[in-house]
Amino acid sequence: MARLSEDCRALPAESVYHYGTFFDLFGVGEEYKPFPILDGSCPGEGFVRFTAKMLARSELSQAHAESAGELAEELVRGQVSFMLQPGDYLIVA
């Protein structure tokens, strides 16, 4: 999140995003909808609640959609894919 501009972090901190449908839940409180992608904490702290699928399911202003799109691009920047073979170990530190 620290690599995003302050402007790019401001819009995803607004509660305008929707994703998923919840039903038959008891004892967990009300559904948090709409919700923010970012909780507004300083970069490097707080939570990020994001899936690119929410962009199509949320009725967003162009500014909110563009800001979330920048976030999506940043989340996959530097992404590396590889296949593990039987017996391989993956250690993430």
- The domain limits of the chain are 6-76
Whole-prediction pTM: 0.67
Q: Is 83 left (phi over 0), alpha (psi -120 to 50) or beta?
A: beta
pLDDT of residue 6: 79
Angle at 17 (CA atoms; ends 15, 19), nearest 5 degrees = 135
Tell me: cis bond preceding 86? Omega within 30 of 0 counts: no
CB 14 within 8 A of CB 67: no
Q: Which amino acid is at 28?
A: V
**What does the pLDDT profile of the chain (93 residues) look like in tens digits?**
777 787 778 888 899 888 877 777 778 877 778 888 888 777 677 788 888 888 877 788 999 888 888 888 888 887 888 899 999 998 876
pLDDT of residue 86: 95
